[in-house]
Amino acid sequence: MIKRILVPTDGSDAAMVGVRYAVALARRCGATLCGLHVVDVKLLEGPFLRDLSASLGTAPYVNYQGNITLLLEERGRAALSAFQSVCEEAGAPCETAQATGIVAREIVEHSSLADLVVMGRGGEHSAWLEGMLGSTTRSVIRRSSRPVLVTGVDQLGDQRLLAAYDGSAYADRALQVAAELATNWGAALHVLVVGEEVQEDALAGARQYLQAHGVAGQWELRPGDPREEIVAYAGACGADLLIMGAYGHSKMHELVLGSTTNYVIHHAPCPALLTR
C-alpha cells in the first residue's frame, strides 16, 4: 500500500510536473506527501567558490559562502512553498523538509520512511542532458530500496498498467507491485514479456503469481530489442503507467543503470515506476 510519498523538488518546471503527478497519485491512494529540497553541498565547496570569484574578478571567499548558502536556502524554501501550494489547492495532506548534503544521498536517506519516490523527468539542468538521465535520478534509482516513479506528465491516467517482464528477480518484484496496484485500483494489467532469455518455468511462475492474486493479466511476447519493444507496446496498449525492474540480468546492474531503463524512461509515453 502506498501511504507516504516522497517528492524531491528543486522548483524547476520538470520537478513541478512530478509534484502535480504525485499529488494526483496521493489523492487516489489516500497518501501523505513529503516534499524535500536538498541544498547541494557541492555548490558550497571551495573549488566552486574559487571559480565563481574568478569569473567575477573579485577576491575569493569575501563572504561568498555565506551569501550563496542564504541564496540556495531561499531557493529551497521557494520550491517547497510551491509544492505546498499545489498540495493545499488539491486538498492533499503534505509536509516539507529541507536538507543540505549530496542531493541523491539525501533523497535516498529520506526515502527510507516512504513507500514511493516520485521525481519529475529532469530537473533544473535537464535542458543540457540531451536525452540522458540526470545523475541525481540515476543515483536515486540505483540506491533507493523504495520504488522510484519518474514522470514527464502531470496527469494520472485512467487505470491501464503495463508490467515489463524478463524473468529476472527485479522483474518479479515489478510484477508484484503491478499486481498490487491492479488489485487496489481495479486497473487492467498488460504484461509484456521481453527478450529471448525468459525461461518457461519463470514465465509459468509469473502467470501463477497473478492468478493467485486474482489478476487477469493480458500477456504479450515480443523477442526484439527490449528498449524499443517496451516503448512501442506502451504506446500501442495505451498504458498509463509502466512498471519494470530497475535492472535486468546484467551483472553490472549494481554499478551502472541499465541502458534499457535509461532509454525507456526518456522515450515511454507514460510515467515509469522502477523497482528493486
Pair 8, 115 in one domain: yes
Q: Write out pLDDT tens, residues 206-224.
A: 999 999 999 988 999 888 8
Q: With 0-12 CB in 10 A as exposed, 13-18 as middle and 19+ as buried, what is 240?
A: buried
Q: Which residues constitute the domain of residue 200?
A: 160-275
Which CATH number goes with the domain that contains 235?
3.40.50.620
**How many other C-beta atoms lie within 10 A of the C-beta of residue 45?**
11
Residue among 275, 274, 266, 271 nearest 133 (CA): 266
Residue at which a domain ends, from 151, 169, 195: 151
> How crowded is residue 151: how many other Cβ atoms within 10 Å of its Cβ?
25
Q: What is the mean pLDDT of residues 264-270?
A: 92
SS3 of 131, please? coil
β-strands 94-101, 116-120: how paired?
unpaired
Buried b (16+ CB within 10 A) or exposed e, 195-204: beebeeebbe
Same domain, 210 and 139: no
Among 133, 151, 169, identify where a domain stops: 151
Grid coordinates representing 95? 509536509
Instruction: Tell me the per-residue pLDDT of 20-32, one tens digit each, with 9 for 90 and over.
Output: 999 999 999 999 9
Looking at per-residue confidence, does 64 or 236 come out higher?
236
Q: Distance (Å, rounded) from C-alpha 205 to C-alpha 222?
A: 19
User: Counting beta carbons within 10 angstroms of the beta carbon of residue 56, is it exposed (0 to 12), middle (13 to 18) or buried (19 or more)?
Assistant: exposed
Cell numbers given for 173: 518484484
Higher pLDDT, 61 or 87: 87
Q: What is the mean pLDDT of residues 37-42?
A: 90
* Residue 50 in grid coordinates: 574559487
The pTM assigned to this predicted structure is 0.86
Residues 31 and 168 in one domain: no
Q: Which of 106, 134, 151 is the last residue of a domain?
A: 151
Q: Is 227 helix (H, G, I), strand (E, B) or coil?
A: helix
pLDDT, tens digit (0-9, with 9 covering 90-100), for 150-170: 999 999 987 899 999 988 888
What is the number of structural domains in the chain? 2
Give residue-wise pLDDT tens across range 249-261: 554 343 344 678 8
**86 vs 80, 81, 108, 182, CA distance in Å?**
10, 9, 23, 27
For the cut 60, the answer to whether the pLDDT of residue 130 exceeds it is no
Please indicate, yes or no, whether residues 138 and 109 belong to a single structural domain of this protein.
Answer: yes
pLDDT at residue 255, as a whole number: 37
Single-letter code of the amino acid located at 62? V
My answer on whether 201 and 75 are in the same domain is no
